[in-house]
């Protein structure tokens, strides 16, 4: 997650790629300081890329009179549900194709006209699809649009924009990527290493660090800074190929792996989109898409799915757990583990008691890929042999490793923002921003770079990148009480804060305890975020500081410096666990984090009464503070600390420009259930570091009827506490206790007349239901736990007109334990309107 690509010469960064003025100023500043200093790092080889002009946008209407629900990407199709268009590239350049319709679901696939080979696709949940392609002049494409749902209009609009590029200056050979071990000696050695601009992996200990070097320029930079290096893997790409081949050979001997899906190899982007749709379409009762307004830099919709028992229900107040992955394009195992967990949940619901209970009590939101643009490039990069010449007919992505702005070939890290305005530009050539340094909390401080050429480039401001804006949109509206963001490869459970200067989190004891449980399941190390290295502007620091929900970064293992190595070792073994942790692994860690979303000690609750059907809304607005923003932030050019003097701190903040304020708004809702009694799991109203500073914050709670605010009041609730409220909200509060009335009809639940021992032995318990003033129909009396929606036992009666004793029968396999339960009665009143009555039940073991 950390690491920096080698620094390019000023002529490359500014003249060739037209970086913003701030970037040029940064580089000019570094150059002037190092003038006359013999220790200046060697200049990188220059590469020139020129934008020649833009064609378009060209708009074409694609029509299909029928809808067919099938995959659009398998091959060129014929018949119903398909519309096609042929297009030829007018020159070398970058094509951006966008398919849009007003509603429903259209998908987009692009094939080579002659071979029928798929070269790009987009299959989001709606009808807003994007494909970007780097092409040679004369490349012939078959553009295929598929109308998947009848709700979609018969016509979709295809917009094609083409940017002409002169890439004649690109080299003809790829770099040789090597993994080296660099001893860390003396004060600030790790910071000095990062300051050289090389790609430092997460495999770091007190004595040494593993580093990816792309060529002699990187080696010279290390030596110029006084470091020695020992080659661990001479050719990472070749080693990865051999490792993958060995893993594939082993997996071929078994029909399927131990993963929920049995998968044996890394997914491509098309797989993720298809599987998320499959989950929603095959499990509509427990899975639904979460549609965000935010898009990636290139305009892609992010794939997000919510999984929960009775997922469409809006009135249960359940807490939310978010599982987020792949901020960094090269970290393929992160997305793999999340996708497998999603399959695990939907397949286990109703079969696995633990998963069933979890989804009945918690909403799980999975977001496997955050940096979709970068992942598409990383996953599609073929990583050619360094000795192989890249011929004239080769796709440009093969040649971009020599630039290393956003990462080398499949080792690309950052997003696809090129740093200047152009309708479309090859992601492989884009400088990019590190999304996991772009969040507002402590943005601009140590642990992120102000240099656009660096792999930890923080962006032009907090939330400058559309990908992080989308994560903010999701997080600010579902209010997760538990949050994990997944990376690799360091085998770590990292808890806030990421900056050592911020001190301990106010919830340190609880954060550490939950982190240790996840570490025990995985064998990973449980530590503060800053113990790996200082970071600022990261996902988990922002979610924790802003929402108060417990947030962690998990760095998947193994610690081998290969961000997408052997599938067995990097994905299967990590997910299911090995050795003494077999059957646990990261799957168990994900379950623990999801269950923590409903831990009363970690969360807060709002409970009380209000008229059924009213909408309750909690809002809070505030500013998140950045760091004292460093005009020049680490890693600094290696020559600068040397120029400043012996022992100077290369992570020092040069030219602090003051703290910035990032406006934030939290807003989330629930609906009051038919009983009129609600319990809503939320985060504390005071943000953690505000609490640490001795300040108090409140939500604004509103109660709405048909969009009209009937009642509004401030609400304070602390972690581990329940705020109780009574909200007439322009109506009448439901009656207290286990009774309800409407007109002349009154319904009540009597006490449970059986002991815990009798219930478990006889499998039934007696209860009186009182009815006065008229008959009620379709009566259902259910026994449930005090929280949750799982029915443990029930009885149904067609009609009741007087007080009657009924027998609630326990469901098969249910065994009650001492604790709190509730009886819930639903029925239809004489005029057909529904009524719900609840009564608390306490079951205890009698004393002997």
Residues designated as active site: 555
Instruction: Decide: 412 and 513 in contact? Cβ < 8 Å.
Output: no
CA distance 107 to 71: 8
Residue 205 tokens, joined: 């200990």
Other beta carbons within 10 angstroms of residue 145's beta carbon come to 27
CA distance 181 to 628: 34
Largest CA distance in the chain: 99
CA distance 416 to 432: 5
Crossing angle of helices 269-282 and 372-380, in 10° steps, is: 120
CA separation (Å) from 20 to 72, 166, 374, 458? Answer: 39, 20, 21, 14
CA distance 582 to 182: 34
CA distance 271 to 488: 21
Q: Which stretches of 751-792 are DSSP H helices?
A: 756-762
User: Which region holds residue 409: left if phi is over 0, alpha if psi is between -120 and 50, else beta?
Assistant: left
Residue 426 tokens, joined: 């090859």
Q: Residue-wise over 271-309: b if at least 16 C-beta within 10 A, else e?
A: bbbbbbbebbeebeebbbbbebebbbbbbbbbbbbbbbb
CA-based nearest residue to 374, from 325, 424, 432: 432
CA distance 350 to 311: 14
Residue 185 CB contacts under 8 Å (≥ 6 apart), including other chains: none
**E strand or H helix at 232, and its extent?**
strand 230-233
């Amino acid at each position: 997650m950390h690491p920096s690509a080698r620094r390019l010469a000023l002529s490359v960064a500014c003249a060739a790629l037209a970086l913003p003025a701030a970037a040029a100023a940064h580089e000019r500043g570094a150059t002037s300081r190092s003038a006359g200093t013999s220790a200046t790092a060697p200049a990188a080889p220059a590469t020139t890329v020129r934008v020649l002009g833009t064609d378009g946008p060209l708009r074409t209407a694609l029509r299909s009179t029928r809808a067919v629900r099938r995959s659009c990407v398998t091959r060129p199709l014929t018949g119903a549900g398909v519309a096609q268009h042929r297009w030829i590239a007018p020159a070398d350049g970058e094509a951006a194709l966008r398919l849009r319709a007003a509603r429903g679901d259209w998908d987009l696939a692009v094939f080579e006209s002659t071979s029928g080979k798929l070269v790009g696709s987009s299959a989001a949940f709606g009808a807003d699809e994007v494909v970007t392609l780097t092409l040679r002049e004369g490349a012939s494409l078959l553009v295929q649009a598929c109308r998947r749902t009848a709700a979609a209009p018969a016509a979709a609009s295809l917009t094609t924009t083409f940017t002409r590029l002169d890439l004649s200056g690109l080299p003809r050979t790829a770099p040789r990527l090597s993994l080296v071990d660099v001893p860390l000696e003396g004060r600030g050695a790790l910071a000095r290493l990062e300051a050289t601009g090389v790609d430092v992996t997460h495999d770091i200990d007190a004595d040494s660090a593993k580093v990816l070097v792309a060529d002699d320029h990187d080696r010279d930079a290390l030596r110029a800074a006084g470091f020695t290096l020992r080659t661990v893997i001479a050719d990472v790409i070749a080693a990865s190929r051999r490792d993958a081949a060995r893993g594939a050979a082993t997996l071929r001997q078994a029909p399927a792996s131990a993963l929920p899906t049995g998968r044996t190899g890394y997914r491509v982007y098309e797989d993720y989109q298809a599987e998320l749709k499959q989950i929603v379409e095959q499990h509509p009762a427990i899975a639904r898409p979460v549609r965000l307004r935010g898009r990636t830099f290139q305009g892609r919709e992010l794939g997000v799915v919510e999984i929960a028992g009775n997922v469409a229900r809006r009135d249960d107040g359940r807490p939310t757990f978010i599982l987020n992955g792949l901020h960094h394009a090269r970290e393929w195992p992160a997305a793999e583990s999340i996708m497998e967990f999603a399959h695990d949940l939907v397949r286990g619901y109703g079969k696995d008691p633990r998963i069933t209970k979890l989804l009945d009590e918690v909403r799980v939101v999975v977001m496997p890929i955050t940096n979709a643009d970068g992942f598409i490039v990383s996953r599609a990069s073929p990583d050619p042999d360094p000795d192989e010449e890249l011929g004239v007919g080769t796709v440009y992505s093969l040649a971009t490793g020599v630039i290393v702005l956003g990462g080398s070939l499949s080792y690309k890290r950052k997003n696809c923002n090129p740093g200047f305005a152009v309708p479309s530009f090859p992601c492989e050539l884009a400088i990019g921003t590190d999304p996991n340094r772009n969040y507002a909390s402590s943005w601009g401080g140590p642990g992120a770079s102000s240099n656009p050429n660096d792999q930890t480039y923080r962006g032009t401001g907090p939330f400058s990148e559309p990908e992080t804006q989308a994560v903010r949109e999701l997080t600010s509206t579902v209010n997760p009480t538990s949050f994990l963001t997944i990376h690799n490869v360091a085998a770590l459970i990292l808890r806030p804060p990421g900056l050592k200067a911020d001190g301990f989190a106010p919830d340190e004891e609880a954060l550490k305890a939950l982190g240790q449980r996840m570490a025990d399941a995985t064998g990973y190390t449980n530590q503060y975020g800053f113990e790996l290295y200082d970071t600022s502007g990261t996902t988990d620091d922002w979610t924790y500081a802003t929402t108060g929900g417990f947030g962690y970064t998990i760095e998947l293992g193994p610690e081998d410096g290969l961000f997408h190595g052997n599938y067995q070792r990097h994905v299967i073994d990590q997910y299911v666990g090995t050795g003494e942790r077999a059957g646990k692994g990261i799957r168990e860690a994900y379950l623990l984090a999801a269950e923590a979303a409903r831990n009363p000690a970690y969360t807060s609750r709002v409970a009380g009464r209000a008229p059924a059907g009213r909408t309750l809304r909690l809002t809070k607005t505030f500013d998140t503070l950045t760091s004292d923003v460093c005009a020049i932030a680490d890693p600094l050019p290696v020559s600068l600390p040397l120029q400043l003097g012996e022992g100077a701190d290369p992570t020092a903040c040069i030219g602090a420009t003051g703290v910035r304020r990032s406006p934030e708004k939290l807003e989330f809702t629930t609906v009051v259930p038919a009983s009129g009694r609600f319990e809503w799991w939320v985060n504390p109203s005071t943000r953690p570091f505000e609490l640490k500073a001795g300040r108090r914050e409140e939500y604004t709670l509103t109660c709405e009827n048909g969009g009209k605010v009937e009642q509004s009041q401030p609400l304070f609730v602390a972690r581990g506490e329940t705020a109780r409220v009574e909200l007439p909200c322009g109506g009448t509060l439901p009656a207290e206790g286990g009774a309800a009335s409407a007109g002349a009809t009154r319904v009540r639940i009597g006490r449970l007349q059986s002991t815990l021992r009798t219930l478990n032995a006889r499998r039934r318990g007696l209860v009186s239901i009182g009815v006065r003033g008229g008959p009620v129909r379709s009566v259902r009396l259910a026994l449930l736990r005090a929280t949750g929606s799982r029915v443990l036992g029930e009885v149904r009666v067609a009609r009741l007109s007087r007080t009657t004793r009924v027998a609630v029968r326990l469901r098969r396999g249910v065994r009650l334990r001492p604790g709190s339960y509730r009886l819930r009665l639903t029925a239809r009143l004489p005029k057909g309107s529904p009524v719900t009555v609840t009564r608390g039940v306490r079951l205890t073991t009698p004393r002997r």
